[in-house]
Amino acid sequence: MSDYVTRKQDGYYQLELIVQGAHCGGCRSRIERGIGELVGVSQVRMNLSTLRLVTTWTGEVLTAGDITTKLSQLGFGSAPYQVLTAQTQSEAELKTLLRAMAVAGFAAMNVMLLSIAVWSGGSEMSASTHSLLHWVSALIALPTVAYSGRTFFSSAWQALKNRQTNMDVPISLALILACALSLYETIQSNPETYFDAAVMLLFLLLIGRFLDAKLRLRTGDAARRLAALQITSATRILKNGSIETVPASSIHPDDTLLIPAGQRIPVDGIIIKGVSDVDVQIVTGETSPKSFGVGGRLYSGTTNLTAPLTLKAVAASSDSFLSEITMLVEAGEQSKSKFVRIADRAARAYVPVVHTIALATFIGWLWAGGDLRVAALNAIAVLIITCPCALGLAVPAVQIVAAGKLFKHGVLIKSGNALERLAKTKSVIFDKTGTLTTGQFTLLNFDEIQPQAIKTAAALAHHSNHPLARALHGYKSDLILTDVEEKPGLGLSGFLKDKPVLFGSADFTTATYVDGAASTAWLKIADDDPILFTFADQLREDAQQAVEDLIALSLRLEMLSGDRNEVVKQAASDLGISQWRGEVTPRQKMNLIHQRWAENYYPLMVGDGINDAPALAAANASASLTGASDISRSASDIILQGDRLSGLPIAINIARQAQSRVIENLTLAVLYNLLAIPLAVFGFVNPLIAALAMSGSSLLVTLNALRISRS
C-alpha cells in the first residue's frame, strides 16, 4: 500500500483510497473523524459520490497501513483508489440494491395479499386457515428479510463488531424484532403478525437507499469523467536521450516529456521544443484550438493536436490542473456548513436517544399493563418510525443536487458551506482587469497612425510581454531594430538604422501627458514629435449580462481596481456599476471588504490576480475565473469555468434555492419526529404504519431536494 502514497511538493504525504461500505453522511462523518484523530493527519476528505477518501499528513510516523487499519476498525473496507474500480464498485452496489429491492418488493406484494385475506376473512376464516396463511407469510418474509436485508445487517454488524454504532443498527434491530415477534405470534397461533410490516419496511428502506446511491452515482459521474482523463501514460525522455513509457502518476517536476500529436497532456508543463495547436476547451471553454510554442504553458487534460511537443513538467499529476479541478468537483459535494453540523450531531445522538426511548416505551407499557406483546409492538414501532433517514438525507441530498446542477452550468464549488455563504450574499465586489475585462488590450486609433509608425512600434513591441506591447504583437513588421532594451515602468528603446526609437510612457518619450479613460503609449523616432497610441482593455462578452442578472437579484455591485480612476470610471459606466474606486492597493481592497462586513452586506469578492488574494480570503464568499492565478483560485470558494462571468448569478440563485430546500427539509424532518415519536410511544401506530410513515418522510425530503434540478 505504501507504493500508492504520493509525496507532495510542500512536504506532505497523500493517500487516496476507495472506501467499501460507506453509504450515508453518518458514515462519512465517522470516517473523517476517525482518520482525523491519527497522529500527523492535516486533512481528510471523504466523497460519497465517488467513494474516494483523500488523506494528507506530515511526518513519516504515519503509514498507509495505519490508515487502512483504522478504516477496518471503523467497519469499512478499503483499496487503492482507481477510477475504473470506483465506477465498478458503485455500479455493483447499485445492482445489488436493485436485486434486493426487487425481491423485497415482490415479497411485500405477496405478504400484503395474504394479510388482506386474513383481515377480510375475520370470523368466517377457520383458525387452521388463519394459521396456515401466517405460516405462508413467514415462509415468504423470513428468507426475504435475510436476503434483502444484508445491506443493513452487514453494516450494523461491522459497526457493532468494532464497538461502533450507525443508523443501520436500529434499522436492523427493528427488522429482526418485528420478524421474531411475528414468528412467535405464528407459533402461538395468535391472530396478528407483522411480517407485512417487516417486509414493507425493508422494501421502502431499500427504495430510499437505491435512490440515494443512484443520485450519488449520477452526481459523481462528473468527477469520475474528469479523473478518467488522468488515466494516461507518458513518454519520458531520460538524460541519456533514451525514452521510456511511464504512468502519469510517476511523473515528477522537471521531467522531460515527449507529447506526440493526438495525446492528452498528462501533467502541467512548459514547452521547451516544438509548435502545435492544442485543444484547451477543458481549461478555457473555447472550442477553437490555440497555437502554442516554446515557453507556452500547457495544463493537464488539454490535448496536443497537430505536431510533437517536448514538455518540461512543472507539477506532479496530483498537483496538476486537472487533478485540482477534479478535487474541486468532489469537494463541492462535501459540507461542513452550519446545517450539516446540526444534522451530523443529530445523527450521532440518534442511536442512544432512540434506543433509550424504545426501551422506556417497552418498560412503560409493561409497567402500565403488563402485556409483553403490546410492549414489544410499541417498542418496535418506535424503532421503525424514528429511523433518521429523513434527517440524514435533509442536507446531503440538497447539496448533491445543487453541486451537480452548478457543474452543468460551469461552476465548480469547493465546499458545501460555500453554498450557505453564497446564499447570504448581499453585495458583489469586482476586480476590473482580468475579471470584468479580458486583460487583453486593442489599439483604438489605428486609422490615425501612419503605417510606418505602426511597423516601427510593432517591431519594438515584439520584444516585450507588457500588456500594451502584446496588443501590437498581431501587427506584422519587416523592420530590423538593434540594441532593443526594455526599461521596466517606462518602455522600450532601440535603434532603426542608427535612429534612436522609443516606445512607452509620456515621461519616457518626452510627450505631453494625455488625461482620459484610454491607456496610452507614445512612439518617438529620433527628434520627430511623439506619436500617440491609445489602447483599451476589452470587457468580457458576458460581463454586461452578468451585471444585469446580479442587479436583478437585488445585489449591491461595486468595482475596485488598481488601475487609473479614469479607466475604472469608464468601465463602471459601460457596465452600469454605480459604485467604483480606482488606484486602490490590495490592503485597501481588504479594508473595504471588512467595511462591507461591518455593514452586514456579506460581500462576495470576484478577482483573478495575486493582488486580489487577501480580499478573496477576507470576503464572506469569493469567486475566481479558471484562468486566474493559482493563489486566487486557492483563496476562492467557487471557480467559474471557461472564464465566464455568467455562472456567477446562476451560482447565487442556486445557492439561495439550496438554502431554502435545506431549511424546508430540516423542518420537515423535525416536525415528522415531533409528531411520530409520541404516536408510537403511546401505541397509536403499529409497525406497518410506522414503516410507511418513516419511508414517506425520507421520500419527501428527497423529492424536495430534487426540485432544485427542475427549477
In sequence order, the β-bridge partners of residue 237 are 243, 256
In sequence order, the β-bridge partners of residue 606 are 430, 623
Cα 623 to Cα 412: distance, rounded to the nearest angstrom: 10
Cα 237 to Cα 523: distance, rounded to the nearest angstrom: 46
Query: Could you confirm whether 431 is annotated as catalytic?
Result: yes
Q: Strand, helix or coil at 268?
A: coil
Q: Strand, helix or coil at 11?
A: coil
CA distances from 599 to 571, 595, 615, 677 (A): 26, 6, 16, 44
Contact 392, 25 (CB under 8 A): yes
Cα 159 to Cα 162: distance, rounded to the nearest angstrom: 5
Write the CB contacts of 590 (distance below 8 Å, at least 6 apart in sequence): 614, 615, 618
- Grid cell 476586480 — which residue? 431
Cα 449 to Cα 471: distance, rounded to the nearest angstrom: 15
In sequence order, the β-bridge partners of residue 621 are 604
451 membership: H or E segment, kind and range: helix 451-461
Cα 465 to Cα 471: distance, rounded to the nearest angstrom: 9
Name the active-site residue from 196, 319, 431, 537.
Answer: 431
Backbone angles phi, psi at 622, to 5 degrees: -145, 155
DSSP state of 295: T
Q: What are the cell numbers at 598? A: 461591518
In the chain, what is the straight-line distance between the N-terminal and C-terminal CA atoms, in Å?
45
Which among 402, 387, 487 has a CA at the least distance from the CA of 657? 402
- In the chain, the amino acid numbered 35 is I
Q: According to DSSP H, which parts of 269-414 are helical?
A: 281-284, 321-331, 338-369, 372-385, 389-394, 396-408
Q: Strand, helix or coil at 267?
A: coil
Cα 574 to Cα 595: distance, rounded to the nearest angstrom: 26
User: In sequence order, what DSSP letters do the residues of 300-319 get, joined into one string?
Assistant: TT-EE-SS-EEEEE-S-GGG
Question: Which residue spans within 410-450 are E strands per DSSP?
Answer: 411-413, 427-431, 437-443
Contact 266, 249 (CB under 8 A): no
Write the CB contacts of 466 (distance below 8 Å, at least 6 apart in sequence): 486
User: In sequence order, what DSSP letters do the residues of 476-511 get, joined into one string?
Assistant: ------EEEEEETTTEEEEEETTEEEEEE-HHHHTP
Q: Strand, helix or coil at 323?
A: helix
Backbone angles phi, psi at 387, to 5 degrees: -55, 130
Question: Which residue spans within 173-238 are E strands per DSSP?
Answer: 233-237
Contact 643, 435 (CB under 8 A): no
Cα 185 to Cα 181: distance, rounded to the nearest angstrom: 6
Hey, which residues are catalytic here? 431
